[in-house]
Structure 1
């Protein structure tokens, strides 16, 4: 699987919702669909997901993919989530929204067509300082819906490698555990938390542990620590002092660096030749951030990085 970056606003990462594995995967594929076509996402966008694409990306049978897409028509439309939002005066309120405003399954072509709800669109498309990005391949083998949500929550703290203490009720809401599910702590850890940690450690790019915090004799909160696994070098990383004109010149930037400079580069008139159609600055910045992962494109764009102060 090629490197496919999923970008979500941290308000969405930290939202409380309960989506099954199939539904979470469909949301991710719809995000990638918009990125690959270069058309971006609006409240009117009809994003297509093909059963064969779903099958190949998540290594399941075509028949399983057909059923997943059909079931999504029945379930995904009814799914809701909530998130915190701040108004211009600094007041924080809780927003409740559906995930999609429209969903359609085309039987003849085994295609699902999704239109995101208006409140979801800006949380997916805007590229500001509060965002989380990760590659689809990191969650493609996770079969626990709780593991996918927990990975997203953890990777939002990638720069520090640990989370703050998360109160138990808040944590349960964030990873999608219903109030009536696994109310006994032993059941919660056995059915939800421990299997999620096990899958994350086995299939993703991080190794995570958790610490439980008590009030009296009862567990009241959890905190998490994680480390990135050693990744084999795909491209030769060179010293910053090397000549950028050499064929193997490539500097691996951190995610925060890529998105920071991509956001600036999107507004440079000299880069207009790289833009596509009527895409917004935010959509253009997302594509530039992906281009900076590709050595050839990085070398093309390096003069503009230097111009903006990258050292």
Structure 2
């Protein structure tokens, strides 16, 4: 499995309140639902086990068991609010039922219709979805770091975000109305911790700028870039014959040709489970960001016209 977390941008931007263990369980549910094809129906539960959780997030089996128990009791009650294209709001739960199998270390959860729509109906164009590999957030200890990282990944092609209005930003991070109401506490207990963990554990470095209206802070914007080690590992592994093409491929081209490749019969060996063509295209687009995978897929890219694009 590639452990690729994919959500629509609207779901990433949703107003939500989740604990770290709940967020992690949903990450696993989204990854496994998309990659196995199970759990993509409101009639079919998805099975998650403690050992999978423990391995994914580098925690002990005991901690993983506790996370599953907590999820059965609390995740079912959690709600989020998503903004629709017409500006109206939809409120939904994350899961519609949960069944913890005591003594077996596993839980069966069924995602809600709204969640399923926003993790499966992806049309392959970057502006509509956010994706990242689970391992990029696995070592975060703060749920706010996970949420901030997701918000940043919407803008990974440009490396900077628009200004997030303060009150909405707090809700997107999952902060209650009465929590960290003083700016000093918000920055010290939430924002700075999230930024520090992203800088320490993830594949990017980020910094923020605060914006004011009058004397009060009204919002924050962020700029970020890949860590030098990440850039260096990509550059040193490039094949001389494909270096120029790899470096010249734009994000728009990457998603365009990923869609074409997903429909190529020869690419069938890379397909996983029962994923749809759009889901397969998303994974291919991620593969094309890796120089070695680009080199491996280059003959197929030529076949669908990339070299002459």
Please say whether Structure 1 and Structure 2 have the same fold, judged by a TM-score greater than 0.5. Answer: yes
The match for 1:99 is: 94
The match for 2:302 is: 306
The separation in 1 between residues aligned to 2:255 and 2:42, in whole angstroms, is 24
The match for 2:72 is: 73
Contiguous gaps of at least 5 residues in structure 2: none
For the pair 1:42 / 2:41, whether they are aligned, the reply is yes
Pairing 1:110-129 to 2, within 5 Å after superposition: 110-128=105-123, 129=125
The match for 1:247 is: none
Is the Cα contact below 8 Å between 2:206 and 2:222 reproduced in 1? yes
For the pair 1:84 / 2:94, whether they are aligned, the reply is no
Secondary structure of 1:70's counterpart equals helix
The match for 1:233 is: 233
Is the Cα contact below 8 Å between 2:3 and 2:133 reproduced in 1? yes
The separation in 1 between residues aligned to 2:32 and 2:89, in whole angstroms, is 29
Secondary structure of 1:233's counterpart equals helix
Is the Cα contact below 8 Å between 2:4 and 2:134 reproduced in 1? yes
The separation in 1 between residues aligned to 2:251 and 2:197, in whole angstroms, is 24
Q: Output the aligned Cα RMSD.
A: 2.7
The match for 2:3 is: 4
- 1:168 corresponds to which of 155, 166, 169: 166
Deviates more, 1:269-278 or 1:144-153: 269-278
The separation in 1 between residues aligned to 2:163 and 2:111, in whole angstroms, is 32
Q: Deviations over 1:220-263 (max 9, x none)?
A: 11111111102152772123558xxxxxxx95877665443222
Is the Cα contact below 8 Å between 1:197 and 1:209 reproduced in 2? yes
The separation in 1 between residues aligned to 2:293 and 2:222, in whole angstroms, is 36
The separation in 2 between residues aligned to 1:63 and 1:275, in whole angstroms, is 34
TM-score by length of 1: 0.86
Is the Cα contact below 8 Å between 1:182 and 1:188 reproduced in 2? yes
Pairing 1:266-277 to 2, within 5 Å after superposition: 266-268=262-264, 271=267
The match for 1:64 is: 63
Secondary structure of 2:237's counterpart equals coil
Is the Cα contact below 8 Å between 1:149 and 1:174 reproduced in 2? yes
TM-score by length of 2: 0.87
Give the superposition deviation at 1:210. 0.8
Secondary structure of 2:171's counterpart equals helix
Is the Cα contact below 8 Å between 1:240 and 1:251 reproduced in 2? no
Deviates more, 1:251-260 or 1:140-149: 251-260
Is the Cα contact below 8 Å between 1:16 and 1:174 reproduced in 2? yes
Change (3 A) 1:168 1:238: same
Q: From the two aligned structures, give the one with the greater helix fraction.
A: 2
Contiguous gaps of at least 5 residues in structure 1: 243-249
Is the Cα contact below 8 Å between 1:16 and 1:176 reproduced in 2? yes
The separation in 2 between residues aligned to 1:256 and 1:40, in whole angstroms, is 30
Give the superposition deviation at 1:30. 1.1
The separation in 2 between residues aligned to 1:146 and 1:274, in whole angstroms, is 34
Is the Cα contact below 8 Å between 2:237 and 2:291 reproduced in 1? no
Is the Cα contact below 8 Å between 1:40 and 1:279 reproduced in 2? no
Change (3 A) 1:271 1:58: closer
The separation in 1 between residues aligned to 2:267 and 2:100, in whole angstroms, is 39
Give the superposition deviation at 1:266. 2.4
How many residue pairs were aligned? 300
